[in-house]
Amino acid sequence: GNSVTQMEGPVTLSEEAFLTINCTYTATGYPSLFWYVQYPGEGLQLLLKATKADDKGSNKGFEATYRKETTSFHLEKGSVQVSDSAVYFCALRDTGANSKLTFGKGITLSVRP
């Protein structure tokens, strides 16, 4: 079956530090990949997505590249801000009629001023 594995957290960084959050996946087909962000007390918002191998998704300074050879979709940001403090979820949606998302466990990012 499908699965998404995220690195263990939480992660604490100082403002302007470089961020990498690892995500690897297992899927039977050719999935679409997503990063969602959840700010405290809120629902999830789509941060970025990629639909095929070598696609790069980007938004708000965050980037992730769909790497089929390593089955990875790592999230990066060159310089984090305090406002980036949130929980980040990696997810995949496999091809086919089933439209379900499979989520990773999420990782909490705290950014110190």
Partner 1 sequence: DGGITQSPKYLFRKEGQNVTLSCEQNLNHDAMYWYRQDPGQGLRLIYYSQIVNDFQKGDIAEGYSVSREKKESFPLTVTSAQKNPTAFYLCASRKGGQGPYEQYFGPGTRLTVT
Given the rule CB under 8 A, which residues bind partner 1?
A: 32, 34, 36, 41-46, 49, 51, 89, 93, 95-97, 99-101, 103-106
Q: Which two three-digit tokens encode residue 2?
A: 């499908």
**Residue 18 Cβ vs partner 1, minimum distance, rounded to whole Å:** 25
**Separation between Cα atoms, residue 82 and residue 16, nearest integer Å:** 9
Name the residue nearer to partner 1 (CB basis): 69 or 97.
97
Would you give the end-to-end CA distance of the chain in angstroms?
41
**Residue 105 Cβ vs partner 1, minimum distance, rounded to whole Å:** 4
Name the residue nearer to partner 1 (CB basis): 78 or 96.
96
Name the residue nearer to partner 1 (CB basis): 19 or 48.
48
**Residue 78 Cβ vs partner 1, minimum distance, rounded to whole Å:** 24
Residue 37, phi-psi category: left (phi > 0), alpha (psi -120 to 50), beta (remainder): beta
Name the residue nearer to partner 1 (CB basis): 56 or 105.
105
Query: Widest CA span of the chain, in angstroms?
Result: 45
DSSP state letter for 89:
E
**Residue 16 Cβ vs partner 1, minimum distance, rounded to whole Å:** 28
